[in-house]
Amino acid sequence: MSKGRVAVVTGANKGIGLEIARQLAREGVRVYLGARDEARGREAAEKLRGEGLDARPLRLDVTDDASVAAAAAFVDEDAGRLDILVNNAGIAIDDGPPSRVSMDALRCTYETNVFGLVRVTQALLPLLRRSDAGRIVNLSSGLGSLALNSDPSWPFASVKFLAYNSSKSAVNAITVQLAWELRETKLKVNAADPGYVATDMNRHQGERSVEQGAATPVRLALLPADGPTGGYFNDEGPLPW
């Protein structure tokens, strides 16, 4: 299915995003590495090209309307369509417990994790509609699950970052609604929980590697025609909302 396909991965210059781009490219996908910092994006793309992969830098700041519009126009001109969108870009900057998290942290988190995801998806959806089998994968987190967060026996039950957790709950809600809107098309929209991955976001304290964290997003990006849509998954299968 992946041969000749075209993908955009946001936040792809490092961490899980870079590994998702690498694994997709290994499947024969042409991958545009979205990065806010143009130099870092070029460096990441060059690294993958050094591995013999079709990786191309894409200047893309998910919080900026003009940047997103320019990125969409570039992919349109360069590829003419889009088959896979992986909304990976995200931040975690909570500066206190829920009762004291600052409005600045809350707004900034939502601007990237929620509004940025919607902004990019809306801009690239016309290109995805040209695909024979478009796939949208939204990077979520187990911390976005209301069911898991309300279960005191869950191993991460004590991790209550209001801005980050609720932004990922919003990502899950967006996934469900967009999948419903597109239910009569060939596009599939799913949310992926990569697990607690060691990245810059958590000062590399995660218990999983980026290779492990990328596995579920890549699987959802390459779903066959009979694959699910409107779901929320980790490596073990569906997660409770």
Please give the positions annotated as active site: 164
The residue whose two tokens read 């519009």 is: 69
Token duo for residue 231:
């779901």
Residue-level length of the chain: 241
Q: How far apart are CA 18 and CA 79, in angstroms?
A: 20
Distances from the Cα of 70 to the Cα of 13, 67, 83, 158, 180, angstroms: 18, 5, 18, 41, 28
Residue whose C-alpha is closest to residue 60's, from 22, 32, 79: 32
Q: In sequence order, which residues have a C-beta less than 8 Å from that of residue 168 and are 6 or more positions away?
A: 113, 140, 141, 143, 144
Q: How far apart are CA 132 and CA 106, in angstroms?
A: 38
